[in-house]
Structure 1
Amino acid sequence: MSTVHEPARQRALVLRLKRVEGQLRGIQKLIDSDADGEKVAQQLAAARKALDKTFFAMVGCVMAQGDLPPDGVADLLARFA
């Protein structure tokens, strides 16, 4: 199974991951600066949601490409979602 064949979709996924990477660096700085726990938790939740959105966008790409039959997509979601 290939992840993404279409260059525009591939670029969009990589950009999403770069934003998440930036969020994670920001969280590291918050922790290093002994920031309020609620603020850290809020940022962790935002990063987790961003990763989830990226995952589901990737699954959408796989579905659009037709690389997996519907049962394969269901299995992918059951294993990793």
Structure 2
Amino acid sequence: MAQLQDETSRTDLLNRLRRAEGQLRGIQRMVEEGEPCLDIASQMSAVRKALDSAYVRMTVCFMQQELKERLQLQPEAEARLDAVLGDMQTLLGKVR
């Protein structure tokens, strides 16, 4: 199975996951402290969106990496691919 090879992409993904982890810990604290369910649900929604965003980013990075490697693209074609995948990431981000 392929792995993310780009260090910048890997760091970005890890930062997104750490942010979601922090949000999740905040939700656990809210439950322990007896916060209102509506407030907890709102925070749960935020964590879900953060994880969805991380998943889309990881998927786009994977596609970018694999397509460049398998198709052995020239630099100008790589730039066009990056643009298309960036647009795809934006579109998928609006689905949530």
Task: Assess same fold via TM > 0.5.
Answer: yes
Segments of 5+ residues of structure 1 without an aligned counterpart are: 70-81
Report the equivalent of 2:86: none
Report the equivalent of 1:73: none
Where relative contact order (Cα < 8 A, 6+ residues apart) is larger, the structure is: 1
TM-score by length of 2: 0.67
Paired residue type of 2:32: D
Report the equivalent of 1:62: 62
Q: Is the 8 A contact 1:23 1:43 kept in 2?
A: yes
TM-score by length of 1: 0.79
Shift of 1:52: 0.3
Larger Rg belongs to: 2
User: How many matched pairs?
Assistant: 68
Residues 2-54 of structure 1: CA deviation (Å, up to 9, x unaligned): 23110000000000000000000000000000001000000000000000000
Q: Is the 8 A contact 1:3 1:58 kept in 2?
A: no
User: 1:37 & 1:3 partners in 2: Cα distance?
Assistant: 39
Report the equivalent of 1:38: 38
